[in-house]
Amino acid sequence: MSVRELFPFFKWGFNIRRSNFLVPILSNNIIVTGEEAVSFEKPLPARDPSQIVVVDKAQQQSNSTCISEQKSQQTTNSNTTPNSPAAVLAEKKDRFSPSSPESSNANQNHNQNKKDNNNNNNNKIDNNIEQQIINENNTEIMKINSTTPPPSPSSPSSKISDQSNEEIIEKIEKGMIQLYKLEAELGDCSRAVVIRRTILEKNLGRQIEALPHETYDFEKVQGACCENVIGYVPIPVGAAGPLLLNGQTVTIPMATTEGCLVASTHRGCKAISESGGARCTILSRGMTRAPVVRFPNITLVGEFVQWVNATDNFVAIKQQFESTSRFAKLTNIKTTVAGRSVYIRFKCDTGDAMGMNMVSKGVDSVLSMLRDRFADLEIVSLSGNMCTDKKPSAINWIDGRGRSVVCEAVITGDIVRKLLKTSVQGLVDLNISKNLVGSAMAGSIGGFNAHASNIVTAIFLATGQDCAQNVESSNCITLMEACNDGQDLYMTVTMPSIEVGTVGGGTFLPAQSSCLDIIGVRGSSTSLPAGSNADQLAKTICAAVMAGELSLMSALSAGTLMQSHLQLNRKQQTTTTQNLEKI
């Protein structure tokens, strides 16, 4: 029943739009308030106000007894729900009806009082009636609320997941549902992708059916790898090798859209393997994070740096850092000062994880400890760019980050001539002119190579690594020299900052896990020390880079690079006469 329909029954002038109080409504000698007032489907006919009775304190106790008896009878009635608002209202109606004993007795008292009192007393009676019945009604409502069980969850029809896609899209457009919360609201990641695609296609005004989304387990992506998912991009995966590395063969999965890359790397793997294989070792490992803090003056800066560099204090910092993870092992702290700012570069062994979150968590804990000790210390940022993450920098090139790896191989003169179609001296001269002098003239940092990032990125994509970290992971210097009286080629590749992991990030996705399986490094090893699988992955990448460097440099030396790319990197398309006429 609407407020407009109820308006004639407002007896005492309350304004329902401006009052926060319960609005009493008089109808048929029953006063109800609040939600009960609007529970009537239609108003009951009003009666003469003279029938309204006064209930004194003595009779109030009697009426309470009657109410209790009536409520007991109503509980046994199968047609009326106990303690329901309708039952309470019906009880009150019966109690104050003209035929009830309570009403008859009350009418007698009312008539007597009417003879003895003037009109002012009548107004007082009205006020007493109003207050008493409102109090009784509120008491009954409180009893009902205390005995009524909490409301049941929303009915299935009100759940978002039970609504149609069209209804959900309409709510999204009205701002009732956030687009990025679809997975959580629906509990169905695949359906969330479909709805999001529909909205995107509507906004774009065109279809995106070429972007696939079916037959993919988006549950694994949710909360881990991507947000606002609309599908996935299939990337071709090729296999280079096998490559003989440290006495064992390894096959290298490479995800790429660049023709000739896998073929070229495969040729390098063959040349290395047929020459006796490659040898690779880890020089150091440790993920870094460098926050920046600030002091009011350089005197405090000097005191802070001295405190951090003290051996005993490093032990305390290490204990605080390692309390945040059972895998993190703090190995080094380096401070760098710029004015009154201090950059603190933490280096931490993170096992088989790439470890950025792990080291960041430990650093955050140490910063809290330092702030408690140094009252004037101001934490400017958790990262001050001396880490350095996903940016070219000299510090990664010099001090390393992640895994620092070096790989070597001796390529026999016969393999150089027959398989690579060039000469040992030709490769040596080209490497000096291109990878060393040319890169130096360009002012390169860590770019003393032919195309290390090509191989790094392809393996990163295939194995679920953080592809943005190919910036520092591709730091590489390729060196070549003649050996064995100039008959053979001695080659090394040094990569000081390969940042990889075999757990965490995208490594758990099915396709990426499968590629890690191809290499034999999925997850953590149960029989080898922590970090062994990530070490092996870094070695595999370094050896694959060397294979790619050897093959590309040979193609450049022999002058066959362009021919190879025209053959493998250009799709031949048949052009009909009809198509030519349209051009």
Q: Are strands 341-349 and 279-289 parallel, antiparallel or unpaired?
A: antiparallel
State the Cα–Cα distance between residues 179 and 229, nearest whole angstrom: 10
Q: How far are the Cα atoms of 308, 454, 494, 516 from residue 473, in angstroms, in the given order?
A: 29, 11, 11, 18
Say how many C-beta atoms besides its own lie within 10 A of residue 495's C-beta: 29
174 is catalytic: no
Q: Which helix (H) or strand (E) holds 168?
A: helix 165-173
Question: What is the radius of gyration, based on Cα positions, of the chain?
Answer: 41
CA angle 476, 479, 484 (to 5 degrees): 150
State the Cα–Cα distance between residues 96 and 58, nearest whole angstrom: 17
State the Cα–Cα distance between residues 153 and 159, nearest whole angstrom: 10
Q: Which of 349, 466, 535, 549 is catalytic?
A: 466
- Would the CA dihedral through 10, 15, 19, 20 be positive or negative? positive
State the Cα–Cα distance between residues 385 and 290, nearest whole angstrom: 7
Alpha helix (H) residue ranges in 287-355: 298-309, 311-322
**Under DSSP, is residue 470 helix (H, G, I), strand (E, B) or coil?**
helix
102 is catalytic: no
Instruction: Name the phi and psi angles at 179, rounded to 5.
Output: -60, -35
- The structure tokens listed for 92 are 């009150």
Beta strands in 198-278 (DSSP E): 237-245, 248-255
- CB hemisphere CA count around 531 (13 angstroms): 17
Q: Which residue has the tokens 């009666």?
A: 47
What are the beta bridge partners of residue 239?
253
- The structure tokens listed for 84 are 């329901």
Single-letter amino acid code for the residue at 305 = V
Q: Provide the CA 25 distance to its chain's centre, in angstroms.
A: 53
State the Cα–Cα distance between residues 360 and 357, nearest whole angstrom: 5
SS3 labels along 34-103: HHHHCCCCCCCCCCCHHHCCCCCHHHHHHHHHHHHHHHHHHHHCCCCCCCCHHHHHHHHHHHCCCCCHHH
Q: Which of 71, 93, 361, 565 is catalytic?
A: 565
Q: Which of 258, 274, 322, 408 is catalytic?
A: 258
**Under DSSP, is residue 405 helix (H, G, I), strand (E, B) or coil?**
strand
Is-contact 346 497, C-beta < 8 A?
A: no
451 is catalytic: no
Beta strands in 428-583 (DSSP E): 447-448, 476-483, 488-498
Q: Which of 11, 114, 213, 390 is catalytic?
A: 390
329 is catalytic: no
Q: List active site positions.
A: 258, 390, 466, 565
